[in-house]
Amino acid sequence: MNEAEKITAGEPASGGSHPSGAPLPCAHAPRRSFFFWFTALAGTVAGLLAGVPVVGYFVTPRKKRTDWVSLGPVKTFNEGETRLAMFDNPLGQPWDGMVAHTGVYVRREAGEEGEHKFLVFAINCAHLGCPVSWFPQSGLFMCPCHGGVYYADGSRASGPPPRGLFHCVWRTRDGNLEIQAPHYPTLQDTLTGDQDDTPAKT
Amino acid sequence: MIERLRAMVDWCDRRAGLSAVLLPMMRHPVPRGIAGPMGWWYVFGSASMTLLGLQIVTGIGLALVYVPAADQAYASLLWLDYQQPLGWFLRALHYYAGSGMVVMVLVHMTQVFLQGAYKYPRELTWIVGVVLLGCTLGMFFTGQVLRWDPDAYWGLAVGGSMAGRVPAMGPRVVGLLLGGPIIGGDSLSRFFALHVFVIPGVLLAALGLHLWLILQQGVSAPPKPGEPVDPETYDAAYHRELKASGVPFAGEAMLKDVVFSALVVVVVVAIAAIVGPKGPTGPPDPTLGGANPRPEWPFLWLFALLSLSPPAAETFIILVFPVILALLLLAVPLVSNRGERAPSRRPVAVLAVVTIYALLGALTYQGATSPWSPEMTAWSGDPVPVAMVKDRTPRELMGGVVFQNKNCRNCHALDGVGGHRGPDLTTVGTRLTPDQLIDQISNGTPGGGNMPAYGKEVNPAEMSALVDFLAHLRPAE
C-alpha cells in the first residue's frame, strides 16, 4: 500500500513523501511531540509566573515593625495609680480613623532612686480580647465579657483567662514614657515575646 | 402590538434557545402528592432562594452608598439611615431578610431531614445544601462586621483571640483574619471582600449545583410509612410513579412556592418597616467604655456553650467542635441513605431534631441573657435594697457601703438586682458563718476559680464592717 494507506492502517509511515513531494506527518512525528511539550512548558511557565506572585500576595505576612509611641511625660503618671493612656497606634493604616485610637493601662510603681518603674498592660483581656476596666476602689481589672478579673499588677485573679494581662514593652526617653506600638496580642503572639509576662497563678 | 412583541420574543428565542431549556424545566413532572396539601412542606427551599434574591438586590443598593473604609463606614451608615431616601428601609430589610434567610434555610434543612428527602438518590443534594448553610451563616457573620460599630470591633477582637489559639499556626491565622497587625481598615476591607465577592461566589456556585441536582434527581414524593427507600428499586419505582401520575411542576406545586415566598417577603418587609435598621450602636471607637460584644443571634448558642464550659475545654470547643458538627452534618446521607423516610417510622431522627432544637433554644436564651458577664455599673448604679439597711447598726450600714464601693455588686446581686456572675447574696447570712465570710472574701475561690482574693484590698476595719453586713443578710422574719 502507499504511504497514505499505511497511515490509515495505523502503521508508522516510513517518512516517504506525498505525491506532491511534501513530507507526510506520522503518528510519532518529532515535530508534533515537540509542540505538545512546548505547549505544556509554556502553560506551566505562564501558570507559575502568574500564580506564584498572586498566591504570594494572599499569604505573605507583613514585615514586623517596631514603632515607639509616646504616652506623655512621666510626671503625668502618679505613683501607686493606674490609668488609661490613649494614643494613635502607628501600626494601623492612614485610613483607620478613630479605630487606631487605642489605650493601654499604665501603673506607676514606687521606683528606686532615679529609676522609673512602670507596668504597662494591653487593654485586651487574655481570655478572648474584650477590653478590661480598671476599678480603683477594689484595685482590680474586670472584663465585661466572661468575668475575668486581674489584680493591680496584671496577674490573673479569677475567671476564665488562662494568664495575666499582656505586658507592653516600655521605656522612658527625654522624660516621656514610651511603649512599643502594640499589635493585637494573642496567647501565642504576646507583646513581649513572653519574657516579662507573669504566668497564670493557679 | 402584541404581535410585534411576540415576534421580538420569538426572534430572540430562535437564537438563544432559552425556551427549549427553561420550559421543560418548569414543566418537569413532580409526584402528584406535591400538588396536594403535603406540597406545603416543600416551600421552604424556594423561600430561602427568594430571600437570597432580596439580599442581593438590597445588598447592591447598600453598596451604592456604603463606604467600606474604617474612617468613613460609620458616616456612610448614618447617611443611609437619615439622609438617603428609603436608605433606612434598605438597611432594615437587608438585616431582617438576612435573618429570615437563616431561619428558612434551617427550616428547610429540618424538613428535608425529617422527611428523609436526603436519602438515595439525593445524598449529594444534601451535601451541597450543608455547604449552602455554611455560606449563609458566613454571610451573616461577615455582614455584622461591616456595621463597623463597637460590637463589630470587639467581635473581631474575640475572633482574633480565638484564631490565635490554633496550634502553631495561630499568629498566621490571626494575620489572615485581621488583615494586619491590628484591627483596623485592613480588617474591614477584608471582610467586605469576603461578604461581597468571595462568599457570594461560593454560595451562588453551590446554589447552581443544588438546583441542577434537584432537576436531575427530581423532587421527592411525600414520604409514606411502610415504603422504605431501596437504592436497587427506587429509580424505577420513582419514574414509574412520575409517568403514571406525575404533574408538571409549573402548576399547583410552583404556586405553593410563590404563595409562601410572597408571605415570607411580606413578613420580612413588615418587620423591617416597623423595627427599622439594626445598629450601628455607635462609632467604632475602641476607647468607648462599656463594650460587651455579642455575636449575632444564630451564633448565640455557641457563645453560650463556650461561656458555660470549663476553661480547659475552651480551645476544643472553639476550634474542633464546629468542625465535628460540620462533618456530622455532611455525613448524614452517607450514614443513612436508605430505609424508612416517614418521620412516624423514624423515632431516632425525630428525637434528635427535638433534642437539638431544645438545646439550641436553651443555649440561645443563655447567650442572650449572658449571666456570666458582670454588670460593670452595678456598684454605683444599683442601690442596696431598703429592707437590707432598715434598722441596721452603724457598722452594718458601713459594711453595705464597703460592699458597694469594692465593686462587689458587679458580680453579686442583692434581691436579684446586680451582677449574676457570682451567687446572689440576699440570704448569704444563712449559708456562711462570719469566719467563712472572712475566708471567702480574703482568699477568693480556692485555686483561683471564680472569685478574686480581696485580702489586700480591704483593710481590717472595712472587713469587719463588711462581714457584719453580710452576716445579717437573712430572709425577713
Same domain, yes or no, for A39 and A77?
A: no
Residue B448, chain A, CB below 8 Å: the answer is yes
Q: Let me know if residue B477 belongs to a domain.
A: no
Residues 205-264 of B with CB under 8 A from A: none
Residue B71, chain A, CB below 8 Å: the answer is yes
Residue A57, chain B, CB below 8 Å: the answer is no
Q: Let me know if residue B212 belongs to a domain.
A: yes
Residue B307, chain A, CB below 8 Å: the answer is yes
Same domain, yes or no, for B246 and B388?
A: no
Question: Measured between CA atoms, how close is B476 to chain A, in angstroms?
Answer: 30
Scanning the structure block, which residue is given the C-alpha cell 469587719?
Answer: B464
Domain span holding position B435: 378-471
Chain A's closest residue to B154, CA to CA, is A130
Domain boundary among B310, B334, B369: B369
Give the pLDDT of residue A23: 59
DSSP label of A191? S
Question: Could you tell me which residues are beta bridge partners of residue A176?
Answer: A73, A173
Instruction: Tell me how far apart the alpha carbons of residues A142 and A123 are, in angstroms, rounded to a whole number.
Output: 11
- Is B406 within 8 Å of A138 when comparing Cβ atoms? yes
Residues 127-146 of A with CB under 8 A from B: 127-131, 133, 135, 137-140, 142, 144-146
Q: What is the pLDDT of residues A125-148, one digit of tens each?
A: 999 999 999 999 999 999 988 889
What SS3 state is found at B263?
helix
Q: Let me know if residue B1 belongs to a domain.
A: no
Instruction: Tell me how far apart the alpha carbons of residues B185 and B142 are, in angstroms, rounded to a whole number.
Output: 15
Chain A's closest residue to B169, CA to CA, is A188
Model pTM score? 0.88
Instruction: Tell me how far apart the alpha carbons of residues A140 and A2 are, in angstroms, rounded to a whole number.
Output: 100
Residue B436's CATH number: 1.10.760.10
Give the pLDDT of residue A19: 58
Same domain, yes or no, for B98 and B222?
A: yes
Q: Let me know if residue A192 belongs to a domain.
A: no
Q: Let me know if residue B97 belongs to a domain.
A: yes
When CB atoms are compared, the residue of B153, B165, B449 closest to A187 is: B165
- Is A99 within 8 Å of B452 when comparing Cβ atoms? no
Same domain, yes or no, for B334 and B452?
A: no
- Is A189 within 8 Å of B170 when comparing Cβ atoms? yes
When CB atoms are compared, the residue of B170, B283, B286 closest to A188 is: B170
Q: Let me know if residue B176 belongs to a domain.
A: yes
Same domain, yes or no, for B363 and B254?
A: yes
Same domain, yes or no, for B332 and B364?
A: yes
Q: Let me know if residue A190 belongs to a domain.
A: no
Give the pLDDT of residue B289: 74
Domain boundary among B338, B369, B400: B369
Q: Let me know if residue B6 belongs to a domain.
A: no
Same domain, yes or no, for B352 and B459?
A: no
Domain span holding position A14: 3-59
Same domain, yes or no, for A111 and A161?
A: yes
Total domain count for chain A? 2
Q: Let me know if residue A38 belongs to a domain.
A: yes
Residue B74's CATH number: 1.20.810.10
Question: Measured between CA atoms, how close is A78 to chain B, in angstroms?
Answer: 19
What SS3 state is found at B139?
helix
Question: Measured between CA atoms, how close is A147 to chain B, in angstroms?
Answer: 5
What is the strand order of the sheet A133-135 is part of? A133-135, A140-142, A149-151, A156-158
Q: Let me know if residue B294 belongs to a domain.
A: yes
Same domain, yes or no, for A14 and A102?
A: no
When CB atoms are compared, the residue of B284, B292, B407 closest to A144 is: B292
Instruction: Tell me how far apart the alpha carbons of residues A131 and B156 are, in angstroms, rounded to a whole number.
Output: 12
- Is A158 within 8 Å of B180 when comparing Cβ atoms? no
Q: Let me know if residue A198 belongs to a domain.
A: no
Same domain, yes or no, for A43 and A89?
A: no
B chain contacts of residue A64, beta-carbon cutoff 8 Å: 181
Nearest Cα residue to B469 out of B414, B392, B406, B405: B392
Same domain, yes or no, for B425 and B316?
A: no
Q: Which residues of B377-401 are buried (b: 16+ CB within 10 A; e: fewer)?
A: ebbeebebbeebeeeeeeebbbbbe
Same domain, yes or no, for A100 and A24?
A: no
A chain contacts of residue B420, beta-carbon cutoff 8 Å: none
Residue A174's CATH number: 2.102.10.10
Q: Let me know if residue B187 belongs to a domain.
A: yes
Residues 89-128 of A with CB under 8 A from B: 89, 91-93, 95-103, 123-124, 127-128
Q: Let me know if residue A194 belongs to a domain.
A: no
Same domain, yes or no, for A110 and A38?
A: no
- Is A142 within 8 Å of B314 when comparing Cβ atoms? no
Q: Let me know if residue A185 belongs to a domain.
A: no
- Is A93 within 8 Å of B286 when comparing Cβ atoms? no
Residue B305, chain A, CB below 8 Å: the answer is no
When CB atoms are compared, the residue of B154, B174, B453 closest to A157 is: B453
Neighbouring residues of B457: CB distance < 8 A, sequence distance ≥ 6? A138, A139, A140, B406
H/E stretch holding B112: helix B87-114
Chosen from B153, B183, B197, B316 to mutate, greatest number of chain A CBs within 10 A:
B183
Same domain, yes or no, for B143 and B278?
A: yes
H/E stretch holding B153: helix B150-163
Low-confidence residues in chain B, pLDDT < 50:
none
Low-confidence residues in chain A, pLDDT < 70:
1-28, 194-202
Same domain, yes or no, for B204 and B123?
A: yes
Q: What is the pLDDT of residues B389-438, one digit of tens each?
A: 888 999 999 999 999 999 999 999 999 999 999 999 999 999 999 999 99
Total domain count for chain B? 2
Same domain, yes or no, for B399 and B305?
A: no
Instruction: Tell me how far apart the alpha carbons of residues A166 and A150 are, in angstroms, rounded to a whole number.
Output: 11
Domain boundary among A59, A87, A102: A59
Q: Let me know if residue A196 belongs to a domain.
A: no
Instruction: Tell me how far apart the alpha carbons of residues A172 and A181 are, in angstroms, rounded to a whole number.
Output: 14
CB A177 within 8 A of CB A77: yes
Same domain, yes or no, for B330 and B260?
A: yes
Same domain, yes or no, for A52 and A99?
A: no
Residue type, A148: G
Same domain, yes or no, for A119 and A173?
A: yes
Q: Which residues of B208-242 are buried (b: 16+ CB within 10 A; e: fewer)?
A: ebbeebbeebbbbbbbeeeebbeeeebeeebeebb
Same domain, yes or no, for B358 and B254?
A: yes
Instruction: Tell me how far apart the alpha carbons of residues B435 and B464 are, in angstroms, rounded to a whole number.
Output: 10
Same domain, yes or no, for A87 and A173?
A: yes
Domain boundary among B336, B369, B402: B369
ipTM greater than cut 0.95: no
Same domain, yes or no, for A53 and A92?
A: no
Residue B455, chain A, CB below 8 Å: the answer is no
- Is A159 within 8 Å of B284 when comparing Cβ atoms? no
Same domain, yes or no, for A152 and A128?
A: yes
- Is A129 within 8 Å of B158 when comparing Cβ atoms? yes
